[in-house]
């Protein structure tokens, strides 16, 4: 399994300048490649191949006065920028032809130096190394100070350096784990009903109150947004205010992610099988409850359960989103009429009294177990994609030390 480990890095002034130069060169090569392919399509010419792009936009471009400064950064960074463009086109073609499931993918867009997120990637070919003193050595950038928090399980196959909207620098390592991390088997199996008042209601009756991190930070965010709106456009004070707003939002996101990691790890550790309803988060995000739905972060929590189950040898399954878990009686199986959200408890004609959420969790567990028995094998998840711009890696790992604040699976 491929895992991604994130660490904070703290470049000095010269290293920040070198990183900004690398960000800019990668952005220019990406935009040049996109522009070249768009013009070829408009003129009815043949699709420009990957090798042709690399030759014209990197090898030959470095020999011209207009692009001679591309030689100031690692060539691997430029090659990976074109690799990102190729992935974007591949996703577009697969979406158009129906090979890629889900929503339609839009054509790749031009990158801007004003984008909130800037990233460059180094693979094994660049010979990046982690030194004995814990610093990360990157070609033509230098030795970066890294805040290590845990050991990497194996050598890294690539590292992505990211500058986010809050001005923080992160190093994201991709590693391959081959060791057996299966947890000892346990008896409990659990169904989980996700909600807004209670973030998760378990089939055993346990309820986890929704922390509502965004709602709790709303007053501070409102004040920072008001301060930002009063600043003159283009001024230095406005740039500082933008960073303050971004840091406040990053703090909310980091707190939510940390809390979800802890909860998902505890659930996977204590249960042999986990069954969750496959909610349509995109659709719910268009309703009047949109802010609360996005604040809950159901999709990221479900993804954590999914990859941790695969990593630690647990069973994970999604129950169909159209399954009437709320309206079905978990005692007799009778399906009632639709009920309003205000109805939190109801009685079945069979005599059973139900808490709305606990009853739904019990039905989700029963439906997941039935699907598991029909298949006759464990329901294992597919690969969880890496964030945009970080998906291209080499298969074999190479680089070791310690690891970080968050883990995500590719």
* Strand ranges (E), 36-188: 118-123, 129-130, 136-138, 142-147, 150-151, 156-163, 169-176
| Catalytic residue status for 12 | no
CA 320 to chain centre: 23
Asked if residue 69 lies in contact with residue 377, where contact means CB atoms within 8 angstroms, the answer is no
Q: Which of 84, 189, 277, 295 is catalytic?
A: 277
Identify the CA nearest to 280 among candidates 320, 307, 340, 253.
Answer: 320
Identify the CA nearest to 62 among candidates 52, 73, 49.
Answer: 73
Q: Which of 193, 295, 306, 390 is catalytic?
A: 193
CA 276 to chain centre: 19
- The residues near 329 (Cβ < 8 Å, ≥ 6 apart) are 335, 336, 348, 350, 352, 354, 359
Q: Quote the CA–CA distance of 392 and 372 in Å, as a whole number.
A: 33
Q: What is the b/e burial string over 295-316, where b = at least 16 CB atoms within 10 angstroms of the residue's CB? A: bbbbebbbbbbbbbbbbeebbb
| Catalytic residue status for 193 | yes
| Catalytic residue status for 180 | no
- Show which residues are catalytic: 193, 277, 357
């Amino acid at each position: 399994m491929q895992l991604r480990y994130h660490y904070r890095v703290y470049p000095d002034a010269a290293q920040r300048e070198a990183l900004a130069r690398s960000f800019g060169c990668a952005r220019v090569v990406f935009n040049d490649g996109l522009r070249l392919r768009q013009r070829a399509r408009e003129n009815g010419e043949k699709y420009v191949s990957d090798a042709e792009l690399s030759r014209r936009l990197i090898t030959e471009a470095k020999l011209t006065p207009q692009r001679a400064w591309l030689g100031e950064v690692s060539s691997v960074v430029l090659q990976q920028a074109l690799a990102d463009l190729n992935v974007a086109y591949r996703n577009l073609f697969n979406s158009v032809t129906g090979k890629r499931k889900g929503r339609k993918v839009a054509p790749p867009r031009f990158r801007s130096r004003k984008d909130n997120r800037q990233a460059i990637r180094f693979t094994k070919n660049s010979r990046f190394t982690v030194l004995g003193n814990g610093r990360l050595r990157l070609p033509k950038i230098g030795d970066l100070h890294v805040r290590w928090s845990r050991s990497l399980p194996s050598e890294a196959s690539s590292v992505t350096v990211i500058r986010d909207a809050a001005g923080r620098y992160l190093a994201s390592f991709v590693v391959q784990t081959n060791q057996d991390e299966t947890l000892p088997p346990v008896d409990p199996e659990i169904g989980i009903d996700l909600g807004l008042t209670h973030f998760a209601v378990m089939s055993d009756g346990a309820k986890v109150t929704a922390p509502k991190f965004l709602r709790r930070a709303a007053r501070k965010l409102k004040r920072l947004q008001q301060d930002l709106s009063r600043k003159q456009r283009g001024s230095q004070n406005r740039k500082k205010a933008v960073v303050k707003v971004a840091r406040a939002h990053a703090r909310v996101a980091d707190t939510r992610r940390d809390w979800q990691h802890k909860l998902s790890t505890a659930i996977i550790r204590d249960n042999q099988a986990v069954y969750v309803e496959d909610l349509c988060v995109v659709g719910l995000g268009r309703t009047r409850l949109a802010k609360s739905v996005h604040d809950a972060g159901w999709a990221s929590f479900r993804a954590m359960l999914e990859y941790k189950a695969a990593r630690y040898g647990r069973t994970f399954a999604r129950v169909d989103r159209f399954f009437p878990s709320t309206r079905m009686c978990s005692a007799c199986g009778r399906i009632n009429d639709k009920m309003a959200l205000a109805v939190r408890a109801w009685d079945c004609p069979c005599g059973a009294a139900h808490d709305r959420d606990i009853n739904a969790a019990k039905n989700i567990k029963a439906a997941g177990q039935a699907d598991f028995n029909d298949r006759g094998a464990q329901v294992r998840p597919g690969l969880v994609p890496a964030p945009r711009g970080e998906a291209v890696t080499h298969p074999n790992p190479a680089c070791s030390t310690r690891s970080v604040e968050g883990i995500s699976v590719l």
